[in-house]
Every structure is written in structure tokens, then in C-alpha cells.
Amino acid sequence: MREATKILVFHLVWFLCIHVPPMFCANVTYDHRALLIDGKRRVFISGSIHYPRSTPQMWPDLIQKSKDGGLDVIETYVFWNFHEPVRGQYYFEGRGDLVNFVKLVAAAGLYVHLRIGPYACAEWNYGGFPLWLHFIPGIKFRTDNEPFKAEMQRFTAKIVDMMKQENLYASQGGPIILSQIENEYGNIDKPYGAAGKSYIKWAASMATSLNTGVPWVMCQQPDAPDPMINTCNGFYCDQFTPNSNAKPKMWTENWSGWFLSFGGAMPYRPVEDIAFAVARFYQRGGTFQNYYMYHGGTNFGRTSGGPFISTSYDYDAPIDEYGIIRQPKWGHLRDLHKAIKLCEEALIATDPTITSLGSNLEAAVYKSGTVCAAFLANIGTSDSTANFNGNSYQLPAWSVSILPDCKNVVLNTAKINSASTTSSFITQSLKLKEDGGGALEDSSSEWSWISEPIGISKNDSFSKFGLVEQINTTADKSDYLWYSLSIDFEDDVSAQTVLHIESLGHALHAFINGKLAGSGKGNSGNAKVNVDIPITLVAGKNTIDLLSLTVGLQNYGSFFDTWGAGITGPVTLKGLKNGTTIDLSSQQWTYQIGLQGEDLGLSSGSVGQWNSQSNLPKNQPLTWYKTNFVAPSGNDPVAIDFTGMGKGEAWVNGQSIGRFWPTYVSPNSGCATSCNYRGSYSSSKCLKNCGKPSQTLYHVPRSWLQTDSNTLVLFEESGGDPTQISFATKQIGSLCSHV
Ligand code: GAL
């Protein structure tokens, strides 16, 4: 467009915005009942899709499936560390193309809730904060601290400006009807004291000053200052009330399942319970609710938080990790959304009148003029019958019946009517590509490898007395930090020596004289590692090489940014001659940040001296493996099954598909044989996969694959057999119907 035309178009748009608001620019406001678009109250159904947890190629389909599922709004966080990995250097390409994502949502005719934060939580590395932020002198996160506030404001303003430049706010004709500042600060603000209180006031006024033209929310923030809308997050929010009668009752996170951790069983949430929670919310005056997540997706690369958040972020969401609708969850919720929308005119007209219909039975009636809608709930755990307006209604336990005309039940949340499909993984043997292009049965010869040196191998290593904290040392440039020590024993050393290591986490491998002697790992509940490893020392020089590793940085809690990781000690040798113990903690250790293979860029597969003789090392710690493979044919989503491998990270054509850890098995107990949806849900109520690896299948987005030749590179930490790796495709299976 020529400059003059651009200016003309701009003026025209501006003119239309001012003078013809309903057609082009929406005026978003709120009152006690609801959000208002151009003065009209609306009932909204929203769902979370985090754009970096899928690929741009997947976005249109995910958004369409959301629309088909009855959503009006797509909610996403903005992930600061993804967009500004180095201070002042921005990345908004590929999976980080936020503008494109927002535009695609708009193109589908849906609205956007942009949760800028910029603290996200979200089981995302470091809660979304860039690591460089931690190194700004004098900084204290999420409190009344000038350096922090300056950075938070700069990034928030940057995002707001970006959206404005593209006319993406509803006030400009775009899809964004809401923005969020901070995230659940009210849950953890106590230890921040008075400074936390003033920080929230500052955050509210800073956000307001950015003039987005649309309302801001603060979730889980009972003291959210006006005009911020304080909203609810949880498995149920029907009992929630905002902090002012002038604000609507909104639910920003209705957890559709729960996240998976390495070492944990797989959580799921029955759709009958979700539907019950949603219906109860609208029954009790709510007008906006958001599924967290509607599509969870994948923690590619090193984006997962934690520690110990798995690479899959499936979340048991209505759309599964691979982009396939999950039935009957998706379909039943779609039916529910239709039923709620049939009540919209009544819902926005008035507050409900709530009456008891008996023990655990409750009616809410929205009646105004000629419209009338009713919700009849049984919040008890046994089935019941209720009389309402002279009619008798069967009310199954833990359910809500929706009557858009106050008479006829169009839906009961416990009765699933939607036709149901299943989807399942079909294993395919890994077709390895010979140079000649043929597919091979025996794969050993098609793998090549490089051994990662044990201990110090890079010339940027450094020595220091004492043990260092890991995150301050690596700045999260790598998961890995070597702690190395060489120690001399002049005479006999006892055969029963024990190496005792205490670490803040998250896992470690101990090598004595070049051999793996033992490992230790924390878990999602307690990241700390405390191990006693029996070792054999020799007379003379001994090397102790400790590889400490992080598995996603802490993303939640008061002062979570300072919790730390790594071997901070003590490290001792117990049971030496005469039973003595020596403390090695304050010795002079040599440190190496990251791996040699990382520095060399082995993950691309295109550099490095790869060995390809026939003696492929198996079950050898610290090994890089590489192969070429043919993509499974068709368009079904693809996963790699890492059964047989230990722990590490994998790259397909240079793109990291995330950390793999199929050897981390969930506890044997805690999984109920069946999960009764009746009664209050909690994140540990319904678990499956006990005693099994938490995650064996890892998503490889189709768009990262070429039809013919692809490179797979793995870094294996603890030892595995890459020839056992297989592919799976996810296919939609048989049609069955619930009655
Ligand atoms: C909430 C938080 C989300 C996410 C969720 C659990 O507390 O706001 O970002 O972490 O918990 O999945």
C-alpha cells in the first residue's frame, strides 16, 4: 500500500470506529451481570489454547474445533521468556507468532482473552519469566520493586502496543475483548506483605494506563482494585462472588483435567463432573467461564516448568494433545454449551432466584418479562426426584438439568448423548532410511553415535571453592551442570565408601573414575535429591564427576524464582578408613555449564564426528544417537515411542520435541479402578496409569516432518537402546454411542 493510501485507510477506519461502532469496533464493558459488547450483555464460553504448545499449522484446526465445540472465546497466556529469550531481543516467529494466532482466532469469528501476565505460571519454565530477569541487580519478582516493575511494564506495554498496531483490540475492531494482568497473585501474596499489596495496586493502574479499550481481569485476586475484574480459578466456581456488585461473576480457569508430571500417574476428569461444574456456575449467576485447557498441547523443547512437568501437556482437555477431539468430553460439552446458550436471554436479563427443592436439590430461575430459564441441581451423591412448577423431574446425583423455558429439560449434565469416537495409537516400526532409500528391518546399523565426555571437556569450565547453586550458574542455558573434583588417597581406601550427596534438585548422576556409580532424582512434590551411593575408590587419584540436572524450572509459589537447584551440599565421603567421613563441600570444584555436544550443535544432526561402526553402544550413559527415518505415511498425528530409552532430549530435523523420560514410573497406588464423578473432584481423585511410565509417547508435529528423509537425534543421559524406539500414529477409531 502506498503511504497516502495507508493514511487514508487509517483515517477511514478511525472515522468508522468513532461513528459507526457496532459495525467495526466493539465497545467492551461490564456490569454486575456480564461482559457487554456494544451495550449488550453476553454469555460467554471460553477455552484455553496456548499457542506455543502446538504449531502454526495446527492452529486453524484447533480453533475451528473450538468453534464447533461451542466456544466464543479463546484464551491464552503470553509467554514472556519465549518472546524475549535475551533482553531486548524479541522472537515472534513460528510458534511464537502471537499476532498470527490472534488473527486466526478472529478469522474464525471468535474472541480472544489475552492473559499478558506477564507472569503465567502455566506449568511453563520459570512461570514464563525470562532467566535474564533474575540477574538484574536489586530485582525482586512480583513485588513492589522498581527494577521488576520497570521490566514488567516494558514487556506488558510492548505486547499491548503490538496488538494495537495490528488493531487487534475489540475497541479497534479486533477480537481481543479482555486482558489479564498478573496471575493468581492473591493465592501466594501473604509472604510479600505490604509490598505485595502495593504491587497489585501498581499493576492495576499500570495496566489501566495502557488504554487497551477493553476490561482487565486479575484472577484469584480478592483485593483487585477497580476497574480490574477479579475472577475465579478452580474445579468449581459456583460459590464465587466478585469483590464488587458492579463486576460480573467470571471463571477464568475451569481445569478440564490436570497436568502430568514425570513420575506421576495420569490425571483425568470425567466430563459429567466438568459439565456439572459449568452448569452450576451459570446456574448461580456466572456469565463467563473458560476451560483450562481446551487444548493443552505439548511442552516442546525445554519449555516445561515444574520441576518435573512432563513433555505432554495433554491435560485431558476436550481436544487432545495431538489435536484430535476427545470424546465424549468434547461432544458432551458442546451439547452443554448449546443448552446454556438457549438460556442466554434469560441469563442476561436478571439475577437468578434460588430456592431449595429439598435436601441437596436446588432450583435457580431466571425470569424476566416473557423469558424464563431454570437450572435444577442435585448436588448430592444419590439420585433424586424434585417437584418444580408443578412438574416432577428426575435429578440424577451430582447433576444439573437445564430448562431454557422453565419447563422442558434440554440437557442433564450426567446424561451423555453425544455420539462418541475413540482414538488410539497404532504402532509402526521405525523405518530407517538407508543411504539408498530403502526401509530396514534391523535397525542397529542405521544408528550412529557420539559419546559425551564424562566430566569436564569444554574450555570454558571454571574452578571455585565450594558448591554452587545451579540456576545462578547456568542461567538455564542448559539442563546440565558438571561438578568435578579430583581427590588423592595415599593409602588404602575402604571398600565400603559411600558418596553422600544433597542437592536442591532436580536429578543427578554420579560418575566415579569415569563410571556411572549411581543416580538420584526428586519428584514433583519434592525436587530435592538426597542420595547415598556406594562407591569404590582407588589408592591414588580419583575423579568424582557429578552431573546435576534441572527438569523444568519452578513455575509456582511465593518467591519461586529463588528456590534454586543443583548440588548445594553437603557432599561427603562416608566410611573411609576407621569409619571417618570427609566433607568435600568446600573443596575446589571445577564446573562446566552444559554439554560438549550442546556447544557443538549435535542436535541438528548435521555436525559432529558420528560413529557408525556396527558396535552401537547400548545402555551407555551420556550418548548422543542419530538416525534417519521415513515419516509414517498419511496425515495422522505422529508420536515417537521412547520405550527402551532412559532420559534425555530428542530433536527431529533440528527441532526439539522435548525431554523424554520413559523410565520415570508412577507409583503403584493411587489409581482407583473406576472414577466416580459424583462428589467433589480434586487433582488426585481420578488417576490412571499407576505403576507405569508417566510418558512413553512424544508428539512430533506433522509439519516438522518431511515425507522422505528425516533426522532424529537423541541425547541419552542414563542409558538406553535406541533400536527399540518405534513410531505411532494416532487414529480415530470406532464409533460408539452412550445411552
Ligand atoms: C493455576 C495457574 C495456571 C496453571 C494451573 C494448573 O493455578 O493459574 O497457570 O498453572 O494452575 O494447571
Q: Please check the confidence at residue 315 and state whether its pLDDT lies above 90.
A: yes
Residue closest via CA to ligand 1's atom 11 equals 122
Pairwise CA distance, residues 612 & 443, whole Å:
12
- pLDDT computed for residue 490 by the predictor: 78
Percent of the chain with pLDDT over 90: 88
State the distance from the centre of ligand 1 to the C-alpha of 503, rounded, in angstroms.
27
pLDDT at 433: 66
**502 is annotated as an active-site residue:** no
pLDDT tens digits along 141-164: 999 999 999 999 999 999 999 999
pLDDT at 736 > cutoff 60 = no
**pLDDT of 56-67, one tens digit each?**
999 999 999 999
Render pLDDT for 652-695 as a digit per residue (tens, 0 to 9): 999 999 999 999 999 999 998 889 999 999 999 999 999 999 99
pLDDT digits (tens, 9 = 90+) for 358-405: 999 999 999 999 999 999 999 999 999 999 999 999 999 999 999 999
List the catalytic residue out of 84, 253, 272, 716: 253
> Which atom of ligand 1 is least distant from the CA of 183?
8
Q: What's the average model confidence in pLDDT over 442-446?
A: 64
316 CB within 6 A, ligand 1: no
Q: How confident is the model at residue 435 (pLDDT cuts 50, 70, 90)?
A: very low
Q: Which band of pLDDT confidence, cut at 50, 70 and 90, is reported for residue 441?
A: very low
What's the gap in Å between 294 CA and the centre of ligand 1?
A: 14
What's the per-residue H, E or C state across 167-206?
CCEHHHCCCEEEEEECCCHHHHCHHHHHHHHHHHHHHHHH
Task: State whether the beta carbon of 652 lies less than 6 angstroms from ligand 1.
Answer: no
Question: Among 233, 293, 315, which residue has the most ligand 1 atoms within 8 Å of its CB, making it the best to mutate?
Answer: 233
Q: Is 232 in the pocket of ligand 1 (CB under 6 A)?
A: no
Q: Is 220 in the pocket of ligand 1 (CB under 6 A)?
A: no
- What's phi and psi for 330, nearest 5 deg? -60, -45
Measured by CA distance, the residue closest to atom 9 of ligand 1 is 122
User: Which of 73-87, 143-157, 426-440, 479-493 shows the lowest mean pLDDT across its residues?
Assistant: 426-440
Distance 238 CA to ligand 1 centre (A): 19
Looking at 167-304, which runs of residues are DSSP E strands? 176-181, 216-219, 229-234, 250-255, 266-267, 288-295
Question: Can you tell me the distance from the alpha carbon of 196 to that of 145, in angstroms, rounded to the nearest whole number?
Answer: 10
Q: How far is 465 from 525, CA to CA, in rounded Å? A: 31
- Assess whether 253 carries a catalytic annotation: yes
Q: How far is the CA of 121 from the centre of ligand 1 (A)?
A: 6
Note whether 351 and 248 are within 8 A (CB).
no
**pLDDT tens for residues 570-629?**
999 998 777 789 999 999 999 999 999 999 999 999 999 999 977 999 999 999 999 999
Assessment of whether the complete model's pTM goes beyond 0.85: yes
Distance CA 719, CA 715 (A): 10
